[in-house]
Amino acid sequence: MPDLGKYAGAVVTSWAATLVLVAALIAITWWQSARARRKLDAAEARRKER
């Protein structure tokens, strides 16, 4: 950890905010992608059954 001096608070909060938001974006993208894939697999399976 480098010595951030008097701006430590600002630097750490802005980096933390960025990382949290990007992580949330990746998580939601991941989750939506998995859900769409599951649904599509289910729909394709139903189609094959007929």
Partner 1 sequence: MTTTRTKQANDRWNWLWEWANPVKFMSLSARALPWVTAITVVTLVVGLVWGFFFTPEAAKFGSSVKIIYVHVPSAMMAINIWVMMLVASLIWLVRRHHVSALAAKAAALVGVVMTVIALITGAIWGEPMWGTYWAWDPRLTSFLVLFLFYLGYMALWAAIEDPDTAADLTSVLAIVGSVFALLSRYAVNFWNQGLHQGASLSLDAEENVSDVYWQPLVICLVGFVALFVLLLLVRTRTEVRKRRVHALEMRERMSDA
Residue 31 has what DSSP assignment?
Answer: H
Shortest spacing between CB 10 and partner 1, in angstroms: 5
Residues 2-31 that bind partner 1 (CB under 8 A): 2-8, 10-11, 13-15, 17-18, 21-22, 24-26, 28-30
Burial 15-32 (b: 16+ CB within 10 A, else e): eeeeeeeeeeeeeeeeee
Shortest spacing between CB 47 and partner 1, in angstroms: 6
Q: Within the chain, what is the greatest distance between any pair of CA atoms?
A: 68
Cα 2 versus chain centre, distance = 28
User: Which residues lie near partner 1 (CB under 8 A)?
Assistant: 2-8, 10-11, 13-15, 17-18, 21-22, 24-26, 28-30, 32-33, 36-37, 39-40, 43-44, 46-47, 50
